[in-house]
Structure 1
């Protein structure tokens, strides 16, 4: 039941019940239980063990992957699964899902992931001996799991997919039947999830209109150069992580992303070096005197955003964080200026020098640190912006830079810009471009495991809402730069945006949701 609530995006309505159930599951987990010997019992046991591990680790409990990797060490069980993998398709799918939460040095989990992936790929390719066992819907779910990394998925769209998936409530496949959770409860849950999704869509559309209005008022949407990404920015922020509806957080992150995009393009393609130095100095002094044109527009937008955010934080904590906000924006503009000087002078810093600067210029910290203060009222910005930054923030900054560079090196090579993939080739003349990409991908895999450890494990110096925002930011970058540079495309995100904000989910055999009231009241408990 808890798993279904998480997958459908309903946990905010059942926080107390969810926490009580997870605490009970954890108490049971700590008592070692004997492995069931019957073949049918193995499927049930393994399925429950996978869900248990996934739920507990996702919610901060310290659990070992050995709790469900046990079957690899039981030759008879492993051989039976290999021989009848079609009947274990949903079990293998959940084994693979559990392996998404892999932390550093979990070698057994690596083996389990490889084992489950091998048979899931067979099923996805259609090369199974039991076509009647694997429904087209179930095969589609397997293909989705294999093709799109978990960290590249946006929660809101995942909730929609789970709503529309007719096999979502199948627990495991049997030789003569499939086993589902309670049908009566399923209908009630799906109806609630449908209403909740449509409610969120209506809220998101209203907030997008507000952000668009701000973008037009500040002049950022009418700059006449570069990328206009107002809708992209809001869509990514709103759909990335399942947090209780908080308009202030979504708006401040979306507005920050819009400014970052426009400012980056100004530094990359529009401003003269003199213009860039003037704008950077103005941001660092927090004084726009002498600025004109695009530089003045960008500076005023930053000041407007910071001023509005200061007021919200002061109401919440009684603290004025103006100086800290100025500092993090100032260091980001400085990093853009340094990269512009490197590119225009033809200089080539070392990969380490570039990464030290690039982890700031990607500006991920600007998206998560101020918003963390709103997500967790007890968290002050000076705690988050300590020097150096918290490990989770530094990891986010490095990972997002490398994700960007691995998909943008071709464009940036043509533009004469610096890029980690290209600098690695300069430092390693015998390496090919494939070698460089493989090296960056290896780095990313190791860094993401370390990042996930900071997100999920307790105790942690940062509160959970802040860590969830860090995870959401990484998911957004991973989504945009998973297999191509989707952020620079004008139409690549169109269908996802429509599904997230406009088109209601299509669920057969469910009543259409009631029309929403014009004035949205508080959400029911």
Structure 2
């Protein structure tokens, strides 16, 4: 319902008790309640065993019982729980296949306009774990009937009040980001740059959902803006010689090095240099540690990866799938942003978590974005291939593969990276790293909104999300 930040201590206390006593698995017998308990514990970082689902199998042949196939609520619960699996949990793969198959069968036998069919479709397309909670809030409130004495009107009133306050906070933050972006003057100087501060701000708005993280969202939006700007410099403006020089200057990280750049690159480099140094100094003032060296290293790595892609394109080289993904993980910009978020959230200071501890989670998030982007660009954006495409690389390596087979392969890779994200989430859910782990998951959840293009090369899901979060309401 979007109000969990008010009840974090209570939520943790209850789930800790449930986990220690395994109470929910003992007192509940139906499929939906056991699945819900499993999902709630897993999503908060409790490593409960997936073997709990073996009780639903027939002893004779090891298949799931036919009576389960008629329990729509149970199937929905099983499907939702299966999304939190990690590699090697074959029982959850079975749960996903079984519940997905029977939910689709239910759809085929149902009136497509009825409430049950609507809920099934939403479950299959937008399972909770792989979608932003803020996207699910309205439909959940609509279906909510009240529980344990809390009437629908009471909780809905709280949700509506909180939503209105949060919406005003987001509008204020967007105004600050827009003023900062305008003050750089880059959009006026470089007419071909994307001028999309609203879209850029939407990333941190979705990733850091606690209303109290206002300054963190603003700082992160600046970083995201600069990733887009530099991406455009490499894709639209620079020659290989100019891009090589720009990359060298970013690696040096000296303002005096700016004189070596072509005129049109100087303002971009100056904006990057000043913004990142300022963010590093602000982190130092708050936490007593200045991470600017690590921050600048991520920008050097990003430009190195952009340059490699530019050279591939300029020379007509189609790299191997492994080469492409290894570089694409960096050029996605996800790693750059997550390193900044790591320090902006105060991690690495008086805590047991270090930068290398987030590398696997960062890599999986980057892989999901890169692969989703390539699915979209290959089918919807009709791009000329300046960034390359995993699908292009895959089809070169697999001469007999069709575009449909290549896309199926990419979807499977994305599912595998989600399993790795789930594993890392369980490893990182200490009190000090909980906010970072949840934000990293949100960044992966945000990817489909950013890359689900329609036939008009628009992003209708993203547009609806922005409208809802900044200008809409929760009233039914």
| TM superposition score normalised by structure 1 | 0.81
Change (3 A) 1:332 1:383: farther
For 1:245 and 1:418, the matched residues in 2 are separated by: 39
Residues 1:27 and 2:10 aligned together: no
CA contact (8 A) 2:298 2:339 kept: no
Which residue of structure 1 lines up, in the alignment, with residue 464 of structure 2? 495
Report deviation, 1:183: 5.7
Pick one of 81, 84, 87 that aligns with 2:68: 81
Which residue of structure 2 lines up, in the alignment, with residue 471 of structure 1? 441
Which residue of structure 2 lines up, in the alignment, with residue 414 of structure 1? 384
For 1:363 and 1:18, the matched residues in 2 are separated by: 33
Pick one of 144, 149, 153 that aligns with 1:168: 144
Report deviation, 1:202: 0.8
Which residue of structure 2 lines up, in the alignment, with residue 53 of structure 1? 38
Greater CA drift, 68-77 or 394-403: 68-77
Pick one of 240, 246, 250 that aligns with 2:217: 250
- Larger RCO (CA under 8 A, 6+ residues apart): 1
Gaps of 5+ in 1: 1-7, 36-41, 170-179, 508-525
Greater CA drift, 297-306 or 337-346: 297-306
Report deviation, 1:54: 0.9
Deviation readout 1:240-298 (Å, 9 max, x if unpaired): 45435201221122222211112112211222223212221221112322335431222
Residues 1:12 and 2:2 aligned together: no
Pick one of 140, 156, 178 that aligns with 2:134: 156
Which residue of structure 2 lines up, in the alignment, with residue 227 of structure 1? 194
Which residue of structure 1 lines up, in the alignment, with residue 169 of structure 2? 203
Report deviation, 1:359: 1.1
Report deviation, 1:378: 5.0
Report deviation, 1:301: 1.9
Greater CA drift, 449-458 or 487-496: 487-496
Tell me the SS of whatever aligns to 2:400: coil
Which residue of structure 2 lines up, in the alignment, with residue 513 of structure 1? none
For 2:210 and 2:307, the matched residues in 1 are separated by: 35
Which residue of structure 1 lines up, in the alignment, with residue 290 of structure 2? 320
Deviation readout 1:356-407 (Å, 9 max, x if unpaired): 2211111101111111222245548997544x97222222223322222222
How many residues are matched? 469
Change (3 A) 1:488 1:320: farther
Change (3 A) 1:506 1:34: closer
Which residue of structure 2 lines up, in the alignment, with residue 403 of structure 1? 372
For 1:344 and 1:382, the matched residues in 2 are separated by: 44
For 1:431 and 1:110, the matched residues in 2 are separated by: 25
Tell me the SS of whatever aligns to 1:289: helix
CA contact (8 A) 1:335 1:357 kept: yes
Q: CA RMSD in A?
A: 3.1
For 1:364 and 1:158, the matched residues in 2 are separated by: 24
For 2:250 and 2:144, the matched residues in 1 are separated by: 51
Alignment of 1:70-469 (within 5 A): 70-73=55-58, 78-82=65-69, 85=70, 88-125=71-108, 127-128=109-110, 136-150=114-128, 153-163=131-141, 165=142, 167-169=143-145, 181-182=147-148, 184-222=150-188, 223-240=190-207, 242-286=209-253, 287=255, 288-379=258-349, 384-386=354-356, 390-409=359-378, 414-457=384-427, 463-469=433-439
Tell me the SS of whatever aligns to 1:414: coil
Change (3 A) 1:423 1:300: same
Change (3 A) 1:216 1:281: same
CA contact (8 A) 2:177 2:218 kept: yes
Gaps of 5+ in 2: none
Change (3 A) 1:81 1:425: closer
For 1:420 and 1:353, the matched residues in 2 are separated by: 10
For 1:337 and 1:381, the matched residues in 2 are separated by: 35
Report deviation, 1:199: 1.0
Change (3 A) 1:488 1:279: farther
Change (3 A) 1:117 1:432: closer
For 1:486 and 1:23, the matched residues in 2 are separated by: 47
CA contact (8 A) 2:68 2:74 kept: no
For 1:271 and 1:356, the matched residues in 2 are separated by: 23
Which residue of structure 2 lines up, in the alignment, with residue 174 of structure 1? none
Report deviation, 1:229: 2.4
Report deviation, 1:185: 3.5
Deviation readout 1:407-446 (Å, 9 max, x if unpaired): 2235576345422211122222222222322222222222
For 1:49 and 1:317, the matched residues in 2 are separated by: 42
Report deviation, 1:48: 2.0
